[in-house]
Structures are given as C-alpha cells and as structure tokens.
Amino acid sequence: MTRPVIGITTYNEPASWGAWVTVPAAELQWAYVDKVQRAGGRVVLLPPDDVDTDIVARLDGLVLTGGADVDARLYGEVPHATADVPRELRDASEIALYRAAMARELPVLGICRGLQIMCVAEGGALHQHLFDVVGDWSHREVPGTFVQHAARFADGSRIAEVLGAGLTEVNSSHHQAVRDAGRLTVTGWAHDGTVEVCEDPARRFVVGVQWHPEMLDDLRLFSAFVDACRA
C-alpha cells in the first residue's frame, strides 16, 4: 500500500545537542512524526519559509503543529501582556501553507496552535488569555504539562465520526483559545465552553483540535487523517 506523503510544520527555536549549545534549529517533538508514521504516513518536515508554498503540490496532506502563541496583530489586536514573543516567520509560513493546502483540497490536521492558525487564516480571532474567560487554569496549570478534561462533539461532525459522539477525555496545554472560528465550523467544546474542534464540513478532511493527540496512545485521529490523505 502506498504511504501518503505528509508535511508536518516545525518550530524555529534555539536548541542544544551534542557539542552544539543554543543554536537556531528547525525542530519538532518526535511524537508528531511517530503518530503519522504509525498511522501509515511518510513524513516530510516543513521548517518556516516565507517564500515558497510550492512544496504543497508534492504533499498528500498537511499537519500544523503546536507551539508559541499566534501573533494577535494578525487578527487586528494588540498582543496581551502574557503572550509569547511573536514568531512572525512561522506564523506567515503556516498561514501560507494552510491556504495553499486548502486551494489544492488537501487534508489538513491542526493541533493546538495549528487549530488557531487555521482559524486566524480563515478570518477568525483568539482569546489571548483564556484565564480571563474561564476564570481558572483548567487548560494548562503549568507550561509544559497537560490537563485532562472532557470534550463533547457535534452530532454528525467529522470528529464525532472518528472519536465518537459521547464525551471524550482530552489533554490540554494552552493558554489561548479560539474566540471566532472565521469560516470554519465549531464542532467540539470543553466542559467550560472552550472551543476544542473546528472543521470545514465541505472538505474531505480539514480538522483542527485544541488538545494534543500526538501525546496520547489513541491513533484514531491520525489514522483517519492519513486515510483521507491516501484517498
């Protein structure tokens, strides 16, 4: 069986390894690669690039990964005091890749920041400091850790088709969230109303989730995505 070629976006952050100490690097947690490979995909890593989206023509699908906050200036707001330093090159690159993938009708899976990139690219906006909205740290108590909570999905949605219509436990680690999904459709919510899933129901597979499925043992979401890419 042919393995579909899946592009996964990478971070552009300082890193250390071997004899190299704190140098700029295109990097990604292995969990993303592992899940796509285990689901049957062949991975190509996509570092930030502000010029070229032609690579999309060589892909069968696109994964937009987690990471630093999306620059609020992209949706017309001043960044909140708690916001990360903007990753302008990465923001521009991922928005361009997403739009190019949509133009070619490729399957897209957005994870955490990836969901937020999708919504901003579609004209939406974010809650910049989720604590101000929900009043607690139930989506990230400490950076770099996960909080388990329930999510519910809309009947008939793609995410419900993949994970089931009942309550599903998810693992969150984010301090921003979708406020306005733009042209996407909201199909999943946390216990406190926080948006957990957005989709384009007119497409074969365009799904963004706010949690981190790459850190779970459940392969269903990645398998459904890779199957769509293979089709």
Residues annotated as catalytic are 112, 212, 214
Q: How many other CB atoms are found less than 10 A from the CB of residue 6?
A: 28
In this prediction, residue 24 carries a pLDDT of 84
In this prediction, residue 140 carries a pLDDT of 61
- pLDDT tens digits, 18-59: 787 888 888 899 999 999 999 999 999 999 997 778 999 999
- pLDDT tens digits, 83-93: 778 999 999 99
In this prediction, residue 143 carries a pLDDT of 75
pLDDT grade for 100, boundaries at 50, 70 and 90: very high
Measure Cα distances from 224 to 85, 166, 182 in Å: 34, 18, 24
| Cα 153 to chain centroid, rounded | 17
In terms of CATH architecture, what is 5-230?
3-Layer(aba) Sandwich (3.40)
Instruction: Determine phi and psi for 85, rounding to 5 degrees.
Output: -60, 130
Domain boundaries, the chain: 5-230
Cβ contacts of 199 within 8 Å, gap of 6 or more: 157, 158, 159, 184, 185, 187, 206, 207, 208
Six-digit token string for 89: 């090159």
Residue 214 has pLDDT above 70, yes or no: yes
Rounded to a whole number of angstroms, the distance between the first and last alpha carbons of the chain is: 12
- pLDDT tens digits, 60-80: 999 999 998 999 999 999 998
In this prediction, residue 113 carries a pLDDT of 95
